[in-house]
């Protein structure tokens, strides 16, 4: 019954250019920033992880560093590529670099693909983002994963805002 206890409104689409990632990032940030003048929470649906950095940046500007709970088969903490800071594989690195995510408390869940080396996992750990691989989810079970995520969230403080991201490829590689 959560919709009976809370006001929920569709604030419309975020119009962005399809012709330049830098401009699109600015447009997403500006739109989220404007929407956060009238609401305390955003639910964003659709798009790839290129939209995560500007959306998270807008939220963190209002509420402070965020805890990231990230369900995905990829970590999305990769460095810039082809002179592009923000791309669908890098948003959480950029968030970490800019202080958008809390230095501890965040978790990747379901990682199973596209790590170029063990260095990628070490770098993500150094960012304060723990990783629960897909194999580990199957080994320890959902209940234990939830407990790990809950404990990690507490590392950032009791009232740290949370950014929950669910990439469909965490569920089934055939839809990635």
Q: What is the pLDDT of residues 102-151, one digit of tens each?
A: 988 999 999 987 666 777 888 888 999 999 999 999 999 999 999 999 99
Reading across the β-sheet that carries 129-133, which strands appear in turn?
Answer: 129-133, 106-111, 67-71, 162-166
The answer to whether residue 100 scores a pLDDT higher than 90 is yes
Q: Which whole-number Å values give the CA distances from 99 to 41, 81, 111, 118, in the listed order? A: 19, 21, 23, 24
DSSP-based three-state secondary structure for 74: coil
Least confident of 4-13, 69-78, 91-100, 123-132: 4-13
CB 73 within 8 A of CB 115: no
d(CA 17, CA 36): 21
Q: What is the pLDDT of residues 32-46, one digit of tens each?
A: 999 999 988 888 887
CB 137 within 8 A of CB 100: no
Which tops the pLDDT comparison, 53 or 121?
Answer: 53
d(CA 170, CA 176): 8
Report the share of the chain in percent with pLDDT over 70.
95
CB 37 within 8 A of CB 62: no
pLDDT of residue 140: 97
The answer to whether residue 82 scores a pLDDT higher than 90 is no
CB 93 within 8 A of CB 100: no
The token pair that represents 44 in the structure block: 């964003």
d(CA 145, CA 13): 33
Quote the pTM value: 0.89
The answer to whether residue 2 scores a pLDDT higher than 80 is no
């Amino acid at each position: 019954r959560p919709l009976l206890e809370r006001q929920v409104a569709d604030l419309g689409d975020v119009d962005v250019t399809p012709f330049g990632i830098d401009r699109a990032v600015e447009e997403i940030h500006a739109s989220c920033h404007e929407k956060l003048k009238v609401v305390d929470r955003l639910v964003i649906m659709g798009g790839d992880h290129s939209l995560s950095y500007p959306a998270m940046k807008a939220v963190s500007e209002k509420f402070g560093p965020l805890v990231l709970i990230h369900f995905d088969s990829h970590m999305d903490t990769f460095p810039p590529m082809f002179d592009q800071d923000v791309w669908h594989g890098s948003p959480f690195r950029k968030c970490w670099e800019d202080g958008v995510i809390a230095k501890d408390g965040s978790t990747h869940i379901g990682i199973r693909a596209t790590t170029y080396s063990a260095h990628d996992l070490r770098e993500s750990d150094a960012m304060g983002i723990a990783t629960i691989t897909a194999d580990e989810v199957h080994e320890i079970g959902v209940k234990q994963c939830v407990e790990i995520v809950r404990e990690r969230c507490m590392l950032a403080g009791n009232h740290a805002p949370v950014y929950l991201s669910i990439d469909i490829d965490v569920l089934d590689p055939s839809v990635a």
